[in-house]
Structure 1
Amino acid sequence: MDRGFINVDDLYLIIMFLVILLSLTVRYLMVLRRHLKSIMNAADSVSKGDFSVELDSDATGELGRLAYNFNYMVKKIKNNIVELEDKNIKLKAILKSISNGIIAIDNRENVMLMNQKAQKLFSYEGDDFEQKNFEKVVKGEPFFEAIKEVMGYGERKKLVVEDENGNYYKIKSDPIKLHDEKDLTIGAIINIEDITQRKRLEKIRSDFVANVTHELKTPLTSISGFVETLKGNENIDIAVRNRFLNIIDMETDRLRNLIDDILTLSFIENNENKKGESFTMVNVWDVYKEVFDMISPFAQKKSIQISERFENKEITILSNPDYIKQLLLNLIDNAVKYTPEEGNVIVTVEEDEQHIHIKVKDSGIGIPQKDIPRIFERFYRVEKARSRRIGGTGLGLAIVKHIVLSLNGKIHVESKVNEGSEFIIDIEKPQ
């Protein structure tokens, strides 16, 4: 056979080989296409949030490994998303439980997160605040300008602002940093704390110190003046000397009463959260009789009739025994002091299923309506000159109010000028 020609049998074999090879290639490509389509469909499902898809990993070779790795990746992504969702739920719960307003703002001044307290402060409704510019979220004064001022990225800032209703807020900004090698600052987190109550307490303390100083200084100045007069004049008339000594004695009593009232008020305030430790069942009638015996001599000097109306004499209150005594003593003493001669003071004690009611009514000078909201303030006097003249310290009703509060009670006043006043106390019975 000539070497330049291919044998027919050989040609047939070659063609058969090529046909088989082509057939295998086509089949392999079809299988590959089917697997690739499955992977594409699965990837599309995953991209839409369906993590239940799973590829057949029984295939051998590269396709089997690809299917296994794909399934592992989907499972990992699903676990990561579940973990992130769990962390997000916890973060929202934490933010919701924080009493301060919290808002995080990125470097482009877009809101990253915000808790419900901040939403309430900004009067913002809905949960679509993420990635909105903070100017569209933070509404109203004083927050917008204040946040803009403290929002210095990369540094801590704080300031205190007051709104139109007299509420005070401390606004503090802290940078949000990524703790990596670059230590990038990606925004700022703003903490808005309502410090209105703290401010008011600070003012109360400040006013209290100023008032105590003034109240102590007045009798001390008087005592000092009369002592200097007596020391500098040995020949002073005996009647004048005795008058000066009586004034010194009166001012000393005034000082003693003031200090006693300050200590009493301080004790009540410091023990408001410890009421269970020193409380016992106190018979109101027994305490009233003790107070009556103390005050009746002063009432008799003014021909004032003190009468009582007890529903029964077995009514008891869970209290510190001294509290009930202080309460009745201050109310009845005030009633006698501010009632003209031949007036009346009536003490009523009643009870129902849930409350004990104590009322002290007088036929005295009464309290102007404009002064009623302030009469329980420390050192507040309706008429300062009259109060000092009759010996009031300005703390009696403040003591009464704190005692009532410590007993889970309420107190209010009904009064008409020149007709009299009635102090009404409602105290809850222990359950």
Structure 2
Amino acid sequence: MKVSRDISNKQFDSKVRGQMSGEIGEFAKNFNYMIDTINFTIRDITDKNTQLKSIMQSVSHGILAIDTRGKILLINDLAKKMVEGDSYVTAEGKNIRQFIKNELILESVLHNMCSEHSTIIQKNIKNDIIYKIKIDPVHFEDTDAVIGFIINIENITEYAKLENMRKEFVANVSHELKTPITSIQGFIETLKMTDNLDEDTKNRFLTIIENEATRLTRLIDDILLLSTIENKTKKKVEKVDLFEVFEEVHEVINYIAKKKNIKVKYDFENKDIDLWEYSGYIRQILLNIISNAIKYTGENGKVSIKQYIKSEKVFIEVKDNGIGIPEEDIERIFERFYRVDKARSRSVGGTGLGLAITKHMVKALNGNIRVESELGVGSKFIIELPFNQEFAQKAS
């Protein structure tokens, strides 16, 4: 009697004790065997359930399993967060209408619960966060009968941004390449079709072709350089003397500045700072930023370079009194091919990739770059780079 009560109360470790013979003994033996089988089955189911829950929790997407009425059968913690459900409430057994608080996700699931085929929906949830919701029907064995749905929710915000950047980059590259190529083709056709072209006109056309070809080469070189910087393969790390590199750059840019009668001044707080870098990055960063300051500063202007140490980092400020940058453009100037003034950028020989290359180089050195500017007053670029052992250790 006690054993039957224990079994009714789900105490499956209870058994019939004592020596019995005959039919009662056979019954007791079979009963105990049945209890052992139940115990084994329960342990097996418990283990498999634990494994399933562990797998569900380790998946990097939100996973939700429901039946045809919308009752939640399984859900992982990430899915709870993504659907904005109450994390302290047991979701299993509840209807999705009760648990899913995000209206867009709930609407997407309810709208596609009648489908016998997989459905993929992409939704801008809020604050430019994009989710991809995949709803797969679960069929009963090999029949067409749908007994439930598996809902996979993936945050694809970063992927969508990268995809948009890729499309924009391809479109911009196509446009930037097409312009000089069209110009070159046009002047070549003119030269071929015109027999009695005077020498001055012919030389002017050839000069234009040469300039466009040079621009094309420079653009391709910049694209290849940007691609190299973004490559995740390890590069050779070397230690360089910052002031020594600056002196090399200063010699180059001072020659350019003199043509516009621009005064270039510098003030280095510490001339004995060594930096870890990849081959040529520091030189290219300084050259890009300082030459940019000269390009966008008018005749008789000023460019100043200041170096100082703060919180185990070296700061380099490049300040000019040039044309400045409109406030609405400041956040975008490091984007590829973004130009504040397209006509002026092209007239000074810009490819639209200089600042993008500079930013990638600074980031590759575990540094940071930002800009302060006022239209018509000038700009100040602030470069921040580590000079301790941390970068060398990370890069090695």
Instruction: Give TM-score, length-normalised by structure 2.
Output: 0.88
Identity of aligned residues (%): 46
Q: Which secondary structure does the structure 1 equivalent of 2:358 belong to?
A: helix
RMSD: 2.6
Q: Which secondary structure does the structure 1 equivalent of 2:326 belong to?
A: coil
Report the CA distance between 1:254 and its aligned residue. 1.5
Task: Show the counterpart of 1:299.
Answer: 257
Take 1:153 and 1:241, find their aligned partners in 2: how far apart are those partners?
Answer: 69
Q: Which secondary structure does the structure 2 equivalent of 1:370 belong to?
A: helix
**Distance verdict in 2 for CA 1:375–1:390, change over 3 Å:** same
Take 1:69 and 1:308, find their aligned partners in 2: how far apart are those partners?
Answer: 96
Q: Does 1:97 align with 2:58?
A: yes
Take 1:51 and 1:347, find their aligned partners in 2: how far apart are those partners?
Answer: 81
Q: Which secondary structure does the structure 1 equivalent of 2:328 belong to?
A: coil
Q: Does 1:382 align with 2:340?
A: yes
**Distance verdict in 2 for CA 1:245–1:191, change over 3 Å:** same
Q: Does 1:274 align with 2:238?
A: no
Q: Which secondary structure does the structure 1 equivalent of 2:93 belong to?
A: coil
Please say if residues 315 and 351 of structure 1, whose CA atoms lie closer than 8 Å, have aligned partners that are also in contact: no
Q: Which structure 2 residues correspond to residues 301-380 of structure 1 after superposition, within 5 A?
A: 301-352=259-310, 354-380=312-338
Q: Does 1:128 align with 2:86?
A: no
Report the CA distance between 1:367 and its aligned residue. 0.9
Take 1:142 and 1:88, find their aligned partners in 2: how far apart are those partners?
Answer: 31
Q: Which secondary structure does the structure 1 equivalent of 2:89 belong to?
A: coil
Report the CA distance between 1:409 and its aligned residue. 2.1
Take 1:348 and 1:77, find their aligned partners in 2: how far apart are those partners?
Answer: 79
Please say if residues 356 and 427 of structure 1, whose CA atoms lie closer than 8 Å, have aligned partners that are also in contact: yes
Take 2:274 and 2:38, find their aligned partners in 1: how far apart are those partners?
Answer: 68
Q: Does 1:262 align with 2:223?
A: yes
Q: Does 1:158 align with 2:110?
A: no
Task: Show the counterpart of 1:113.
Answer: 74
Q: Does 1:396 align with 2:360?
A: no
Residue identity matched to 1:301: K
Report the CA distance between 1:336 and its aligned residue. 0.9
Task: Show the counterpart of 1:3.
Answer: none
Take 1:96 and 1:317, find their aligned partners in 2: how far apart are those partners?
Answer: 44
Report the CA distance between 1:335 and its aligned residue. 0.8
- Cα distance per residue 1:76-123 (max 9 Å; x no partner): 434443443333333223222222221111122211111222212211
Please say if residues 51 and 74 of structure 1, whose CA atoms lie closer than 8 Å, have aligned partners that are also in contact: yes
Please say if residues 42 and 55 of structure 1, whose CA atoms lie closer than 8 Å, have aligned partners that are also in contact: no
Q: Which structure 2 residues correspond to residues 210-229 of structure 1 after superposition, within 5 A?
A: 210-229=171-190
Take 1:297 and 1:362, find their aligned partners in 2: how far apart are those partners?
Answer: 17
Residue identity matched to 1:41: R
**Distance verdict in 2 for CA 1:182–1:389, change over 3 Å:** closer
Q: Does 1:173 align with 2:135?
A: yes
Residue identity matched to 1:42: D
Residue identity matched to 1:358: I
Q: Which structure 2 residues correspond to residues 174-193 of structure 1 after superposition, within 5 A?
A: 174-179=136-141, 185-193=146-154
Take 1:67 and 1:263, find their aligned partners in 2: how far apart are those partners?
Answer: 82
Take 1:68 and 1:306, find their aligned partners in 2: how far apart are those partners?
Answer: 100
Bigger radius of gyration, 1 or 2?
A: 1
Instruction: Give TM-score, length-normalised by structure 1.
Output: 0.81
Task: Show the counterpart of 2:48.
Answer: 87
Number of residue pairs matched by the alignment: 388
- Cα distance per residue 1:42-63 (max 9 Å; x no partner): 2244x2xx45544424445554
Task: Show the counterpart of 1:11.
Answer: none
Given the alignment, which residue of 204, 211, 215 partners 1:243?
204
Q: Which secondary structure does the structure 2 equivalent of 1:142 belong to?
A: helix
Residue identity matched to 1:147: V
Residue identity matched to 1:39: V
Given the alignment, which residue of 92, 106, 120 partners 1:144?
106
Q: Which secondary structure does the structure 1 equivalent of 2:327 belong to?
A: coil
Q: Which secondary structure does the structure 1 equivalent of 2:351 belong to?
A: coil
Report the CA distance between 1:403 and its aligned residue. 1.3
Q: Does 1:194 align with 2:155?
A: yes
Report the CA distance between 1:173 and its aligned residue. 2.1
**Distance verdict in 2 for CA 1:42–1:140, change over 3 Å:** closer
**Distance verdict in 2 for CA 1:303–1:145, change over 3 Å:** same
Instruction: Report which of the two has the higher share of helix.
Output: 1
Q: Which secondary structure does the structure 1 equivalent of 2:280 belong to?
A: helix
- Cα distance per residue 1:319-345 (max 9 Å; x no partner): 212222221221111111011122222
Take 2:245 and 2:107, find their aligned partners in 1: how far apart are those partners?
Answer: 59
Take 1:267 and 1:182, find their aligned partners in 2: how far apart are those partners?
Answer: 53
Report the CA distance between 1:306 and its aligned residue. 2.3
Take 1:131 and 1:371, find their aligned partners in 2: how far apart are those partners?
Answer: 52
More divergent stretch after superposition (407-416 vs 182-191) = 182-191
Task: Show the counterpart of 1:43.
Answer: 7
